[in-house]
Amino acid sequence: MPATNPPLVCWNCRERAQGTHFCPSCGKLQQIAGNTDYFALFGLPRKLWIEMNALEQKFLQLSWKLHPDNFVKATEEERELSLKRSSELNDAYRALRDPVARVEYLLGIENMRKEGEHKQQAPPELLEEVFELNESLDELREAKSAGGDLSVLKQRLQSAEKNFGEKLAEVDGELQSVAREWDSAVDTNADEAVRKNLMTMMNEILNRRSYIRNLVINVVKELGAA
């Protein structure tokens, strides 16, 4: 049989502690369980659509409860726990409030976030455009070093920036679409094969997104330097 996690026990009263924040018996702040993820920290299922107002309200509520100012007169252990739990809460909120970071985090805790050897390779459908972009970037650098006219090259790169920005938006749309499929799979308790396929798709989209985003950043940087 697979190993199971032992029941959590309150560090203060030694009673069984339920939930992720405070002991129901003595009310003391608790260590977070080792298997508690960011979703569970906010009482959420591992789904990718999150109601932002509800997340923010929960964050503010927990931030107030866990804030170190509330533990000034508490024991040293409670003060340390408050600092640690507040930091964990902030990390969780930053990850879950951003749609892309949320997908990355989900894939990470599911052991499916693989940035692999193909991450830095151009997606096949973009090879020609990436080649042309790199040529334009090289020409801009050479013209800048030689003190030449940069206006035409800058216009070409501005057009490329817009083009790849649109592609980035398309990729984000693809990611949102697969994310909706993931949520549906969670709701219907789909089998492991279905979930793994969806996570593989999201991982590939994230890698493609990362590549295109880096292209846009590089173009913006070169235009700024020019």
- Domains in the chain: boundaries: 1-97, 124-225
> Does 179 score more than 70 pLDDT?
yes
129 against 8, higher pLDDT = 129
Which amino acid appears at position 205 of this protein? Answer: I
For the chain, first and last CA: distance in Å? 64
What gap in Å lies between CA 207 and CA 100, rounded to an integer?
11
What gap in Å lies between CA 153 and CA 175, rounded to an integer?
33
Instruction: Please give the model's pTM, rounded to 2 decimal places.
Output: 0.83
User: Residue written as tokens 């997908």?
Assistant: 103
Give, in words, the CATH class of 1-97: mainly alpha
Cβ-contact 38, 25 below 8 angstroms:
no
Dihedral sign, Cα of residue 185, residue 188, residue 192, residue 194: negative
Q: Where are the alpha helices (DSSP H) in the chain?
A: 38-41, 52-66, 76-97, 99-109, 127-146, 151-187, 192-225
> Does 193 score more than 80 pLDDT?
yes
Q: Which of 95-104, 113-122, 181-190 has the lowest mean pLDDT?
A: 113-122
> Does 117 score more than 60 pLDDT?
no
Residues 19-23: what's their mean pLDDT?
Answer: 74
Q: Which of 40-49, 111-120, 162-171, 210-219 has the lowest mean pLDDT?
A: 111-120
Q: Is 134 helix (H, G, I), strand (E, B) or coil?
A: helix
The pLDDT of residue 1 is: 36
Q: 52-92 pLDDT, tens per residue?
A: 999 999 999 999 998 988 888 888 888 888 999 999 999 99
What gap in Å lies between CA 71 and CA 76, rounded to an integer?
9
